[in-house]
Structure 1
């Protein structure tokens, strides 16, 4: 069906942009894709295959400012020139999730939070698959949501949703929403105002009704403060490792308990969880509650939470060489993630960190640094912020400019029984393509030792 005169412009030709273009074409829109950077050859080939016009390394205003609507990649900030001009002309800008959601009747399970999103999303997907549900996985992970709506037919979607995506979501509704935690991250995109970031995260519950579910951490101060005056229509399911709760999850002795109204009790010892460490107990609680709201059997949940394998670049075991354990946590691009990584280790640590600092406040790491970290190996072009933050807390700090140099120095500094941890707290694009590239180079360097 041809949507005469309805012009959809897509900014950004990565996975989400190309997915949105394919869906838009299928829905009969006139489509144009524009990327200010280069477009990968594989994506160019696909756009050509679908006869979708595109441009790279520029934004041609006369081809963009005539749009009926724009789908914008979450990586493009609002302060970018072309976005400002679109806003001046009142041309609606939406996220790929918002756009694709219009064309799917599947049940939407949406997971957000500053940390633990990917792990919780993958664990939830794992449980739902094991329960035999027809489920897709999208958002910040894997194939784009729009592409799957265009090409697949799932009954459920588990979506990892970032605050940048939420900022451009308006009508979309999560049937089940999960908010794991809120800690300072990406504040450069929120005028350095924590309140703006918190508000953005709570967009996960917008449009929810009394038949929907909201699963959240009751130990998180920012969430608790906001919940005190928020008007949330959905059924609330809190989780905590600090106190017992009704209609949610909590710890009793060493058991993870889930008690939901109208549902049988779930119980599992935390030693049996595949994901260890305090932060992962939270992730397992969130996924467990979610599975219970979908009436998945206790045995299936227990089995799935016991045999799950963690994702790459998130506290990923690489090797044990001469009694030294190497762990790749390249996905830790903020301070809180590093705190979680250090908190989950019970050995001395040689920490490799650094990269593009997003205005980080390192104060929360100081105590753990003093307790566990014997040396910091800085891996980045400008390490001044790290030196300023930690030179009084850690005996040795060394600057390096490549993954192999960092790994070799770490290996010589580490003692038998200690851990070399890559957990950068920073973005990677000063020395690497992305956090995956950084993690892969780290793993390759360890294998060369």
Structure 2
């Protein structure tokens, strides 16, 4: 296959015109790196640009426009870096591609300037933020010169431009993988694949699966592929493709693994080349079956890069979970409150419920992304004593669970949702915010939703 970037001299671009489409964290980071390396950079965003990003563009003297796309200027570009939030079927991207201008993602652009640095790239439908943060934590505690980048940290490109490191631990989405060419992680981690973002993939699940597997397409026999051997979608895809070009390191809770990780009773067993490590899962800071999988993946990566088992044990034990991802908020009169606002799809809520060990008041709702609530019906029946809806339109949730739980309450704010949940809870119960929906009906984003939830809990 012809390399669409072969004609571009990244080491000496000599003012070559480069357009960035989208001016969020990813786009502005790419613009800063491109300006630093000698491209003639122009940033274009169809929407208003946030003030903090405008400030950065002014600071680095980068030309930009907002609330429009100047097609004449854009279509004269030699290269386009597209932000992950912009779909390939948007009109401007279609016109760029029709003109034959290469379109790449910010992670591909950053990769061009990584040199000898190594990348641990982590993807999956659920758990990638937690796994990325834990992997970074272990490497950092192990004394590595490492940065946390991608969807979770600062822009990969911005980190490369302003503070390059020997190691990058990167959370990578399918949208970023869609526009790679040469991007090649030293360690690729694929946690799981469940239906998500199908509106970006022509409602064809296989297209989304193919996108996730692009994380290994440029790997060689010097690289490693860590994946969940219990995930049925990954298992099926591995029957159809070859992974002999990389070094597979699977992990499983169901069966013994010769080279990778598996559970034996309550012990996680690691076998990486000559290394043999065992750890009690009760020592993991992250609880729940899904987090055991996440921890196994992070531990394989850490062992592969040579971190001592004592350091891994310490780091896994003292890791603090992420804000808005199964975040313990407070216990009020014997009732625990947990903020899982980052659960914006049904699968994420499934994982949250699966880890609950106490009777649960579940706060659900927001902007529905075509949710199939039947996926969590059994867990709701088993663990949930009441559902508190928090959204502008709760009809679908009520229809899905009216015959499953005895109590369903409607609310339209975080304050009301917390108050109603507390009223329904008894000592020893858990109130779990795990909405299974996007947040844009009542909140700016999932962080705003989680923060308002935490404030409401503190005001009880």
TM norm. shorter chain > 0.5: yes
Deviations 1:158-201 (A, max 9, x none): 00001111111121101100000001111111111111111111
Given that 1:188 and 1:359 are in contact with CA atoms closer than 8 Å, whether structure 2 keeps it comes out as no
Residue 255 (structure 1) aligned with residue 267 (structure 2): yes
Tell me how far apart the structure 2 counterparts of residues 67 and 405 of structure 1 sit (CA, whole Å). Answer: 51
Partner SS state of residue 238, structure 1? strand
CA contact (8 A) 2:32 2:60 kept: yes
Q: CA deviation at 1:140?
A: 0.4
| Shift in Å, 1:142 | 1.9
Distance, in Å, in 2 between the alignment partners of 1:219 and 1:2 is 46
**Structure 2 counterpart of 1:167, from 178, 183, 189:** 178
Residue 356 (structure 1) aligns with: 367
Q: Name the residue aligned to 2:4.
A: none
1:154-303 aligned at under 5 Å gives the runs 154-232=165-243, 233-261=245-273, 263-303=274-314
Does residue 1:331 correspond to 2:342, yes or no?
yes
Q: Which runs of 5+ in 2 are unaligned?
A: 1-10
Aligned pair partner of 1:47 in 48, 57, 82: 57
1:346 aligns with 2:357: yes
Indicate yes or no: 2:32 matched with 1:22: yes
C-alpha deviations, 1:181-223, integer Å up to 9, x for none? 0011111111111111111110110110111000000000000
C-alpha displacement at 1:229, in angstroms?
2.2
Shift of 1:143: 1.2
Is 1:11 matched up with 2:21? yes
| 1:413 aligned onto 2:424 | yes
Q: Provide the C-alpha distance between the structure 2 equivalents of 1:2 and 1:114, rounded to a whole number of angstroms.
A: 38
Divergent runs of 4+, >6 A: none
The answer to whether 1:116 aligns with 2:120 is no
In structure 2, how many angstroms separate the alpha carbons of the residues matched to 1:432 and 1:63?
Answer: 36
Q: More deviation in 77-86 or 207-216?
A: 77-86
- Does residue 1:138 correspond to 2:149, yes or no? yes
| Partner of residue 60 from structure 1, selected from 66, 70, 74 | 70
Partner Cα distance (1:25, 1:268) in 2: 47
Q: Residues 15 and 38 of structure 2 are in contact (CA less than 8 Å); yes or no, is this contact kept in structure 1?
A: no
1-structure distance, mates of 2:188, 2:50: 33
Superposition deviation, residue 437 in structure 1: 0.6
Alpha-carbon distance between aligned partners in 2 of 1:352 and 1:49, rounded to the nearest angstrom = 42
Aligned length: 448
Question: TM (normalized to structure 2)?
Answer: 0.95
SS of 2:31 mapped into structure 1? helix
1:81 counterpart = 2:125: no
Partners of 1:33 and 1:52 within 8 A in 2: yes
Residue in 1 that maps onto 2:7: none
- Give the C-alpha shift of residue 398 in structure 1: 2.0
Distance, in Å, in 1 between the alignment partners of 2:12 and 2:304 is: 40
User: Which among 44, 47, 53 is matched to residue 37 of structure 1?
Assistant: 47
Q: How does 1:402-441 map to 2 (within 5 A)?
A: 402-441=413-452
- Is 1:102 the equivalent of 2:112? yes
- Map Cα deviations across residues 28-73 of structure 1 (whole Å, 9 max, x no partner): 1111111122212221122112111111122222222222111111
Encode CA deviations 1:287-307: one digit per residue, 9 max, x unaligned: 111111111111111111111
Q: Is the 8 A contact 1:188 1:358 kept in 2?
A: no
User: CA RMSD of the aligned region, Å?
Assistant: 1.2
What secondary structure, in the 3-state scheme, does the structure 2 residue paired with 1:137 have?
strand
SS of equivalent residue, structure 2 residue 275:
coil
1:322 maps onto 2:330 in alignment:
no
- Cα drift, residue 2 of structure 1: 7.0
Q: SS in structure 1 opposite 2:439?
A: coil
Q: 1:153, 1:191 → 2: CA distance?
A: 37
Q: In structure 1, how many angstroms separate the alpha carbons of the residues matched to 2:111 and 2:89?
A: 26
Q: Which residue of 2 aligns with 1:93?
A: 103
Q: Contact 1:181–1:220 (CA<8 Å) still a contact in 2? A: yes
